[in-house]
Structure 1
């Protein structure tokens, strides 16, 4: 059986298998009632296409390191997600679920390192796809069903958004606007503040000092609103922290 490369599997994926009309002719999909893999995941990759929606619910920051990517914080501490319960069910039905989560268990991947085309694959350990008695068929008369076509289209759109996000990050690095982030939150009853580091953010002073061609280029490319969406979203750090407090998931305060 052909399989996709298994090295460096993306977040949430335990394996990848190419979707085949021969091997999976009788496979069906069923809706996911919960996402247990989310319960202890505090940071989710997001694309720039989602910034406008994400910034209403979660802080958007940038991961540390040279290959930084935008991430939405579903919790401020490792292993804490304040938007789902212990079973991975949404606490608030109006919450915007990032596309990275909605894409699972599917993924476009190259079956060989030299392959030019991406193939639709899935995580065979997922309980939402398999030989079920009930559900929506992935294939009909040997051809992809409408639901499979929709899954493929969504994954293609996600890849395109990912490419736009990569370009955005390249331009952001060229402007040298990223700096190491730090947020300090003082909570009642504690002498020491809770300090969060290990991420990057936009240097607002440098952004405000941009002039001339650089500022015009950033405005024309649509980059400027994205940077401000990120900056506005940072106020939600305290809201996420407050949710952790209400859920009894208090971190340890920073000493010294």
Structure 2
């Protein structure tokens, strides 16, 4: 999974170096504008499937991971307006966690280029007019803001692990099959999206009973069918692009 997509200058958060930093939540999602998909957590399949197709891709090691397809373009999407406001009904957690992320050794990191993280203006802070919330208290303790951020990115990583286990189980069961999406735009220009995979429903239905029971208890079975249900959202993306798919 491309963990650091969108992050220009990942920096480890430090209570001494960043004690006066204030954080303002993301309002402008324009930083996502150039991609046509983002990684998705399996637990998100249910909500995302109402609005976005859930497909699978492969990383450089050949491991499968789920993605939310944001558009049928080869590059870019229309889920944000000109001012950067998110227009879709669902915003993937991969986007919502920005500008924070956990490193492999579980340190909280942030994108130092994010405009909503800035050193506090002492004069403005004294007058109660400083924008954003501090991440650290005067004694170096975590503020409620930072605790919520840590909770979010920690839960994200835990669900990322569950998602990876689900994909490994589906791969071991040989359930993935290639899915090529071909689109003809309104001006008759062909577009082709490949490198995508879906779960083969026929093979899913032939799983042994004991495997089905395991998958049901782990939530895998529900995730698989939420993914298959989401394929109907391709038509919605096609309508947005004024295409015939």
TM-score normalized by the length of structure 2 = 0.86
1:159–1:64: structure 2 CA closer, same or farther, 3 Å change rule?
A: closer
1:148–1:183: structure 2 CA closer, same or farther, 3 Å change rule?
A: same
Give the match for residue 72 of structure 2.
76
1:87-166 aligned at under 5 Å gives the runs 87-92=83-88, 95-110=89-104, 117-133=105-121, 134-141=131-138, 142-166=140-164
2:232 aligned with 1:238: no
TM-score normalized by the length of structure 1 = 0.82
Summarize deviations over 1:100-147 as a string: whole Å, max 9, x none: 11111111114xxxxxx4111111011111114421111111221110
Runs of 4+ aligned residues of structure 1 deviating over 4 Å after TM superposition are 184-190, 192-195
Report the CA distance between 1:82 and its aligned residue. 2.2
Count of aligned positions: 232
Report the CA distance between 1:207 and its aligned residue. 1.6
Query: Distance between the aligned counterparts of 1:25 and 1:197, measured in 2?
Result: 46
* 3-state SS of 1:125 partner: coil
- Structure 2: state its 5+ residue gaps: 122-130
- Structure 1: state its 5+ residue gaps: 1-7, 111-116
Report the CA distance between 1:148 and its aligned residue. 0.6
Farther-moved stretch of structure 1 (127-136 vs 96-105): 127-136
1:2-81 aligned at under 5 Å gives the runs 10-64=4-58, 66-81=62-77
Report the CA distance between 1:48 and its aligned residue. 0.9
2:150 aligned with 1:174: no
Aligned residues of 1:82 and 1:240 also touching (Cα < 8 A): no
Query: Distance between the aligned counterparts of 1:194 and 1:24, measured in 2?
Result: 46
